[in-house]
């Protein structure tokens, strides 16, 4: 034990460290024959230096005295096809990452040791060296600060002329491996957060500054790829296709968060540079054609729903005063009034788009006047500096009198009032909502759109100089609510996905109306409500009626959570999902299994119940008001019912009035059995039992089926044969959460079938009627449970209060 202890001490001793260094110095060439020896020496050096940095200052003094880093550089130069680069970079990364002493870090970065290792000519093609190299670069970047950064740059006449750490890292910015991309982005952010003026000048000056436009251009390509995938004519709304869509959007969101991180760096020059690239290369080329403020001329057409998704996601992720007000300024341009836009009623926009550019200049001055722009130079027009190239002489702007008809047909309201396109309606409305709810929306633009949460007090709070006649939300609120209600009342009914999202918008906007509806809209909601209730009632005759109460219990809270979701956290992915599902496919009854139809009917009715409660009471009920005190249980009245309701395979049960019959099993031949149907409360079972060998009035259960869905039918050619449809007892759900609080159901195969043979036609008919009788008792119990929800006055006499 003591010998082992002393060996451990010797391993980290100064004497042993000098021995290892001398062994390394003796290496004259690195090839495959001595590669393993060199790797062992590198490992020993890194371990000892890491130990010495924390425990023994003399070790690091020796490290500096012997210029060990110079030996690392030498090894790279004398290596001959030995593949020593990867382990050397790996051990260097470990050593740098584990250094705590500022003195040690300062030494390592000095004398160009690190720069020489970075600038070495590596052969990355076809090997696994790139991850080790980028990991080393990231390790170096994690240790830099404002004092050590100067050691890694070369300066001439107060200007940076070389920055190998940054320049070499950018070569891997768009590498295929996600891990490498992430490492490069972390490295750049580390640099941006510690850079000084001369480094920022180097970063934002061509050709180095091309990196920022490359990032935005790559983001735009991903947006085009997303749109191409969205428009592909493939099988619609499959689970795999939806997952691929999620992966595509995740790439875009990752890029947006990276841009947000860059904009978070407290350096105005960098912020202006990024924002200018973002707007000139992405936002304006998408937004202007979308709003018919410019024709698409570059051939890179992006569909409306994808454009709305991208702009909404950009606002949610990046946000900020600059972005919010610039986007809002462009969107609201067609709706400017004389008090805001400086135009008189009926003014038109000249064909060269000068009024539009003048308007953007006004917005620009407003955006650049905030505190986040203080100290910046030449702020005027930086955001819209390249906009003129997007506005051509043949651009088609919204012109003519700014009346309600023009507004409804132009700009973003073209999509809000789009016929037969719920995805466009909801996507455009979502963009307006997140703008209206933004705290960064300037007072200059706020009167035109109005904040949803305080729209009812908006007019009182505005000063006379700021006041306009009405915000666009206030002016068109009845029409918007009507458009949403038409989606809910659509026939045939649209998918539950569309209806739940529509309900979210309806509740959100209803708040601003003080929970009041016009007579027309109230009538339309009642129509939608009656349709959803009738759809649910039909399911009481279906084969899954016994699962309706449980579905109410499980989906009620899901619906409430979906309705109360914050717009800031609501993912606009729903718009893409609706588009890829082609909006009516999910709701087509022919494509749904019986279980799916039941679940969708319950979810749609739950939505209408909660919206009705919100209209009348102003809040959402916490749980459904099911009738759990249904009185005497709806059983057969026979004493053996209770043991039958709890029976399982192999149970010993009373045969009672069981009907003898026979059934053929594929693996057991023909078996003589007794058919015993029984209902108790919400539970209903059909048992097939074999007579007990020793007890004449008892039987052993060999098969069980749920009563619901049996649908007994007598064979036309063989009147003593009874056909039964057999479904599962419990539905199978994929409990993994999907976006938008959706639960994906498994695809159910065709239900099984039993055919029972009876002694004669009379016995067969008796069995059929007995099954129907017990099923009817089970259904009656379920109907009594649901009665409070299906009644007109399930909220009391609130309808009378509404009339008053």
Q: What is the pLDDT of residues 291-313, one digit of tens each?
A: 776 555 454 678 999 999 999 99
Q: Are 482 and 520 in contact (CB under 8 A)?
A: yes
pLDDT at 775 over 90: yes
- Write the DSSP symbol of residue 206: T
Residue 296 has what pLDDT?
54
Model confidence at 708, in pLDDT bands (50, 70, 90)? very high
Model confidence at 379, in pLDDT bands (50, 70, 90)? very low
pLDDT at 397 over 70: no
Mean per-residue pLDDT for 760-769?
96
Map tokens 């479904």 to a residue: 727
For CA atoms 326, 332, 338, 340, the dihedral sign is: negative
- Give the angle 682-684-688 at the CA atoms, nearest 5°: 165
Model confidence at 232, in pLDDT bands (50, 70, 90)? confident
Mean per-residue pLDDT for 720-730?
88
The helix-helix angle for 472-488 and 519-539 (nearest 10°) equals 30
Model confidence at 284, in pLDDT bands (50, 70, 90)? confident
Q: CA 799, 801, 802, 804: dihedral to nearest 10 degrees? A: 130
Model confidence at 485, in pLDDT bands (50, 70, 90)? very high
* Per-residue pLDDT tens digits for 61-93: 999 999 999 999 999 999 888 789 999 999 999
Burial degree of 123 (CB within 10 A; 0-12, 13-18, 19+): exposed
* Per-residue pLDDT tens digits for 516-549: 788 999 999 999 999 999 999 999 999 999 999 9
Q: Are 215 and 274 in contact (CB under 8 A)?
A: no
Other beta carbons within 10 Å of 296: 13
Extended strands (E) in 268-420: none
Identify the residue with better confidence: 740 or 653: 653
* Per-residue pLDDT tens digits for 117-158: 999 999 887 678 999 999 999 999 999 999 999 999 999 989
- The secondary structure of 83-148, three-state, reads CCHHHHHHHHHHHHHCCCCHHHHHHHHHHHHHHHHHHCCCCCCCCCHHHHHHHHHHHHHCCCCCCC
How far is Cα 518 from Cα 515, in angstroms, rounded to an integer? 10
Residue 459 has what pLDDT?
38
Identify the residue with better confidence: 342 or 187: 187
How far is Cα 495 from Cα 488, in angstroms, rounded to an integer? 10
How far is Cα 653 from Cα 640, in angstroms, rounded to an integer? 8
Average pLDDT over the chain reads: 81
Q: Considering the chain, what percentage of its residues have pLDDT values greater than 90? A: 51
pLDDT at 376 over 70: no
Residues 6+ apart with CB under 8 A from 102: none
User: From residue 50, how far is each of 57, 334, 349, 730 by CA, in Å?
Assistant: 11, 65, 70, 60
Mean per-residue pLDDT for 320-347?
65
pTM of the predicted structure, to 2 decimals: 0.83
How far is Cα 143 from Cα 136, in angstroms, rounded to an integer? 11
Residue 451 has what pLDDT?
58
Model confidence at 394, in pLDDT bands (50, 70, 90)? very low
Mean per-residue pLDDT for 628-642?
54
Residue 493 has what pLDDT?
87
Mean per-residue pLDDT for 383-391?
47
The helix-helix angle for 268-278 and 320-331 (nearest 10°) equals 30
User: From residue 527, how far is each of 453, 485, 532 by CA, in Å?
Assistant: 28, 9, 9
Identify the residue with better confidence: 385 or 439: 439
Residue 184 has what pLDDT?
97
Q: Of 11-20, 708-717, 789-798, which gets the smallest average pLDDT?
A: 789-798
- Write the DSSP symbol of residue 568: T
pLDDT at 779 over 90: yes
Model confidence at 361, in pLDDT bands (50, 70, 90)? low
* Per-residue pLDDT tens digits for 572-590: 999 998 888 754 444 444 4
Model confidence at 355, in pLDDT bands (50, 70, 90)? low
Residue 743 has what pLDDT?
39
């Amino acid at each position: 034990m003591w010998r082992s202890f002393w060996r451990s001490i010797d391993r980290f001793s100064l004497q042993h460290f000098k021995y290892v260094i001398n062994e390394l110095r003796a290496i004259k060439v690195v090839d495959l024959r001595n590669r393993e020896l060199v790797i062992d020496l590198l490992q020993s050096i890194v371990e000892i230096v890491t130990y010495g940095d924390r425990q023994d200052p003399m070790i690091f003094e020796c490290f500096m005295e012997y210029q060990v880093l110079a030996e690392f550089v030498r090894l790279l130069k004398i290596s001959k096809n030995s593949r020593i680069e990867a382990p050397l970079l790996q051990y260097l990364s470990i050593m740098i990452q584990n250094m705590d002493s500022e003195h040690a870090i300062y030494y390592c970065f000095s004398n160009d040791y690190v720069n020489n290792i970075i600038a070495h000519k590596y052969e990355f093609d076809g090997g696994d060296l790139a991850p080790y190299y980028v990991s080393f670069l990231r390790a170096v970047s994690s240790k830099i600060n404002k004092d050590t950064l100067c050691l890694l740059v070369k300066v001439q006449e107060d200007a940076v002329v070389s920055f190998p750490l940054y320049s070499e890292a950018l070569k891997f910015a768009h590498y295929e491996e996600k891990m490498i991309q992430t490492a490069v982005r972390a490295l750049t952010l580390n640099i941006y957060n510690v850079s000084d003026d001369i480094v920022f000048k180097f970063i934002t000056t061509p050709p180095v500054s091309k990196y920022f436009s490359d990032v935005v251009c790559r983001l735009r390509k991903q947006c085009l790829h997303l749109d191409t995938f969205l428009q592909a004519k493939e099988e619609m709304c499959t689970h795999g296709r939806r997952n691929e869509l999620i992966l595509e959007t995740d790439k875009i969101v990752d890029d947006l968060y990276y841009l947000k991180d860059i904009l978070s760096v407290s350096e105005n020059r960098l912020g202006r540079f990024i924002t200018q690239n973002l707007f000139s290369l992405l936002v304006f080329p998408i937004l202007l054609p979308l709003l018919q403020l410019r024709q698409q001329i570059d051939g890179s057409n992006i569909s409306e729903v994808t454009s709305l998704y991208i702009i909404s996601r950009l606002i949610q992720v990046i946000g900020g005063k600059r972005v919010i007000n610039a986007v809002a300024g462009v969107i609201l341009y067609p709706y400017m009034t004389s008090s805001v836009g400086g135009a008189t009623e009926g003014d038109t926009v000249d064909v060269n788009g000068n009024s539009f550019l003048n308007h953007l200049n006004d917005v620009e001055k407003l955006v650049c006047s905030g505190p986040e722009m203080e100290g910046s130079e030449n702020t005027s027009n930086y955001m819209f500096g390249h906009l003129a190239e997007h506005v051509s002489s043949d651009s088609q702007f919204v012109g003519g009198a700014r009346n309600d008809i023009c507004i409804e047909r132009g700009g973003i309201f073209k999509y809000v009032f789009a016929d037969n396109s719920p995805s466009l309606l909801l996507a455009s409305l979502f963009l307006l909502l997140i703008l209206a709810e933004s705290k960064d929306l300037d007072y200059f633009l706020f009167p035109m759109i109005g904040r949803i949460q305080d729209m009812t007090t908006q007019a009182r709070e505005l000063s006379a100089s700021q006041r306009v006649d009405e915000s666009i939300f206030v002016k068109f609120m009845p029409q918007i609510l009507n458009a949403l209600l038409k989606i809910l009342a659509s026939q045939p009914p649209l998918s539950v996905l569309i209806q739940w999202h529509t309900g979210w918008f309806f509740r959100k906007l209803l708040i601003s109306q003080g929970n009041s509806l016009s007579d027309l809209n109230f009538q339309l909601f009642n129509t939608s409500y009656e349709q959803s209730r009738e759809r649910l009632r039909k399911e009481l005759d279906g084969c899954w009626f016994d699962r309706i109460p449980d579905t109410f219990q499980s989906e009620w809270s899901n619906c409430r959570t979906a309705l109360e979701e914050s717009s800031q956290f609501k993912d606009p992915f729903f718009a893409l999902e609706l588009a890829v599902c082609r909006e009516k496919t999910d709701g087509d009854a022919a494509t749904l299994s019986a279980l799916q139809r039941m679940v969708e009917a319950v979810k749609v009715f739950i939505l209408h119940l909660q919206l009705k409660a919100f209209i009348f009471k102003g809040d959402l009920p916490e749980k459904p008001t099911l009738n759990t005190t249904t009185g005497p249980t709806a059983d057969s009245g026979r004493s053996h019912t209770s043991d039958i309701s709890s029976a399982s395979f192999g149970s010993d049960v009373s045969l009672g009035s069981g009907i003898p019959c026979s059934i053929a099993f594929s693996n057991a031949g023909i078996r003589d059995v007794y058919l015993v149907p029984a209902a108790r409360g919400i539970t209903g079972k059909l048992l097939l039992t074999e007579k007990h060998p020793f007890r004449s009035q008892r039987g052993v259960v060999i098969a069980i089926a749920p009563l619901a869905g049996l649908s007994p039918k007598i064979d036309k050619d063989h009147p003593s044969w009874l056909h039964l449809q057999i479904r599962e007892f419990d539905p199978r759900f994929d409990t993994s959460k999907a976006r938008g609080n959706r639960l994906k159901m498994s695809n159910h195969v065709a239900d099984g079938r039993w055919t029972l043979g009876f002694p004669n036609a009379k016995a067969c008919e008796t069995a059929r009627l007995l099954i129907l009788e017990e099923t009817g008792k089970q259904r009656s119990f379920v109907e009594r449970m649901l009665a409070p929800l299906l009644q007109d006055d399930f909220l009391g006499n609130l309808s009378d209060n509404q009339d008053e």
